[in-house]
């Protein structure tokens, strides 16, 4: 679902407005950070790399048995260009896709930009920073940490979409079911995203290690060091994805569908409640038919807080790094 651009009216107007305010604020901040650090050099660079992201998204990646996927590119842009410029570049891509290709709703830009540009770029940067601290300070370490960051950033973006659904659901699909489905599917998509992102970063490191923002300050970028081979990475990533998917679906099914026995009674006040809320800007469908509401809200809260912390962490870490660079 995330890989595609949500159309107009897919989330309630209140969520569209709130996410638009967040996206505009972060984009404004990104513009300031980028302008401070790259002067006017970034303007053509951002334009050309935005075209690159667009072109990279059109490359079909074989997955197996005749199916194929494609790169989302938010994490890749952050790793290669740094999170501020990376997020800005993907934001422009999403904007052009909406206005020129009618791909994604014009009033859905707030959440489309947030989920496809801002959350992937900054969460990938934060996770990359954490993974890099554990991995060896070599080329292989950068590639491995980048792959893990890209894979997890996709899952986090799926989580962000689920939390937005909690506040702005336009259909009676409860949060826990949507969350379970979104995270499971995106755990698999994340394996592909992580693998391709890692390999692309490795390829760029071979040719121009000096331009890869993620490799800044890494002493040993020689090609001889390799943290993980491709097959071990794939096997490990698939295992992790399966564990994640099973864990999440356990939670989703822990709200028993047996609740539908109550649905008959609930249907009455549900209809009444919906009438009152239908005009509201924040729809409340997402708690309909949830078996364990406390549990569901706890998971939603945890996901929301985690995503916010990781994204904010990515911003803080890179902002501090940029300031130190500026001083030295």
Partner 1 sequence: MSGPHRHLHLHGDNPAARRAPEAKLAGLFLFVLLVALTPTRWMIPIGAEAVIVGLTVAAASLPWRVVLRRLVTITPFIAFAFLLPFVVSGPRMAVGPLHLSQTGLWNAFGIVSKAIIGASATIVVASTTSVPDVVTGLRKLHLPAVIVTIMSFMWRYLDLIAADSGRMRQAMSARGYQPRWLWQARPLANATGALFVRSYERGERIHQAMLARGFDGVMPEPSRTRPVTGTDWAISLLPAVGAAVALIIGAWYGS
Pick out residues in 249-288 that bind partner 1 (CB under 8 A): 259-260, 263-264, 266-267, 270-271, 274, 278-279, 285, 288
> How is residue 121 written in tokens?
């770029």
One residue of 230, 243, 305, 309 binding partner 1 per CB under 8 A: 230
Supply 248's token pair.
Answer: 């999440």
Binding mask 93-132 for partner 1 (x = CB under 8 A): x-xx-xxxxxxxxxx-------------------------
Are 1 and 182 in contact, with CB atoms under 8 Å apart?
yes
Residue closer to partner 1 (CB basis): 42 or 122 = 42
Report the run of H or E that residue 276 belongs to, with start and end: helix 260-277
Nearer to partner 1, 34 or 248 (CB): 34
Q: Which is nearer to partner 1, 52 or 130 (CB)?
A: 52
Give the shortest CB-181-to-partner 1 separation in angstroms: 10
For residues 173 to 212, the per-residue mask of contacts with partner 1, x marking binding by CB under 8 A and - elsewhere, is x---x--------------x--xx--xxxxxx-xxx--x-
Where do runs of H (alpha helix) occur along 39-73?
A: 42-57
DSSP 136-159: -SBHHHHHHHHHHHHHHHHHHHHH
Q: Which of 44, 217, 219, 258 binds partner 1 (CB under 8 A)?
A: 44
**Max intra-chain CA distance, the chain:** 68
Q: How many other CB atoms sit within 10 Å of the CB of residue 78?
A: 34
Identify which of residues 210 and 327 has a Cβ nearer to partner 1 in the complex. Answer: 210
Closer residue to partner 1 (CB): 104 or 120? 104
Do 79 and 197 meet the contact criterion of CB atoms below 8 Å apart? yes
Q: Beta-carbon neighbour count of residue 268 at 10 Å?
A: 9
Binding marks (x or -) toward partner 1, 8..37, rule CB under 8 A? xxx--x--x----------xx--x---x--
The nearest distance, CB 289 to partner 1, in angstroms, is 4
| Dihedrals phi, psi of 208, to nearest 5 degrees | -135, 75
CB-nearer residue toward partner 1: 61 or 239: 61
Which of residues 6, 117, 121, 158 is near partner 1 by CB under 8 A? Answer: 6
Q: Are 321 and 36 in contact (CB under 8 A)?
A: no
Rounded to a whole number of angstroms, the minimum distance from the CB of residue 249 to partner 1 is: 15
First to last CA, the chain: 44
Q: What angle do CA 4, 89, 163 make, to 5 degrees?
A: 45
Residue 81: closest CA among 50, 112, 115? 50
Please state the closest distance from residue 158 (CB atom) to partner 1, in A. Answer: 14
The distance of closest approach from Cβ of residue 107 to partner 1 in the complex, given in angstroms and rounded to an integer, is: 5
Question: Which CB atom, from 12 or from 310, has the smaller least distance to partner 1?
Answer: 12
201 and 142 Cβ atoms separated by less than 8 Å: yes
Considering only residues 51 to 80 of the shown chain, the ones binding partner 1 according to CB under 8 A are: 51-52, 54-56, 58-59, 61-66, 71, 80
Segment 129-168, which members bind partner 1 (CB under 8 A)?
Answer: none
């Amino acid at each position: 679902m995330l890989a595609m651009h949500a159309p107009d009216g897919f989330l309630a107007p209140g969520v569209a407005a709130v996410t638009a305010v967040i996206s505009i604020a972060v984009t404004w901040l990104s513009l300031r950070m980028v302008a401070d650090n790259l002067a006017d050099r970034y303007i053509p660079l951002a334009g050309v790399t935005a075209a690159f992201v667009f072109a990279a998204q059109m490359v079909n990646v074989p997955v197996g048995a005749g199916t194929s996927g494609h790169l989302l590119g938010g994490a890749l842009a952050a790793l290669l260009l740094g999170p501020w410029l990376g997020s800005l570049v993907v934001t422009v891509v999403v904007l052009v896709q909406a206005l020129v290709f009618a791909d994604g709703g014009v009033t859905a830009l707030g959440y489309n930009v947030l989920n496809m540009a801002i959350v992937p770029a900054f969460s990938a940067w934060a996770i990359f920073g954490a993974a890099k601290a554990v991995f060896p300070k070599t080329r292989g370490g950068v590639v491995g940490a980048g792959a893990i960051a890209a894979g997890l950033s996709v899952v986090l973006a799926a989580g962000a979409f689920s939390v937005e659904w909690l506040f702005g659901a336009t259909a009676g699909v409860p949060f826990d079911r949507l969350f379970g489905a979104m995270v499971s599917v995106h755990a698999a998509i994340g394996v592909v995203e992580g693998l391709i992102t890692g390999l692309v970063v490795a390829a760029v490191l071979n040719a121009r290690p000096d331009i890869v923002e993620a490799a800044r300050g890494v002493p040993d970028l020689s090609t001889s060091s390799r943290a993980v081979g491709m097959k071990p990475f794939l096997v490990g990533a698939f295992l992790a994805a399966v564990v994640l998917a099973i864990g999440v679906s356990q939670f989703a099914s822990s709200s028993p569908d047996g609740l539908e026995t109550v649905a008959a009674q609930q249907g009455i006040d549900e209809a009444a409640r919906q009438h009152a809320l239908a005009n509201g800007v924040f729809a409340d469908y997402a708690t309909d038919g949830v078996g364990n509401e406390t549990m569901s809200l706890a998971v939603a809260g945890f996901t929301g807080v985690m995503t916010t912390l990781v994204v904010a962490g990515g911003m803080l870490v890179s902002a501090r790094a940029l300031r130190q660079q500026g001083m030295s």
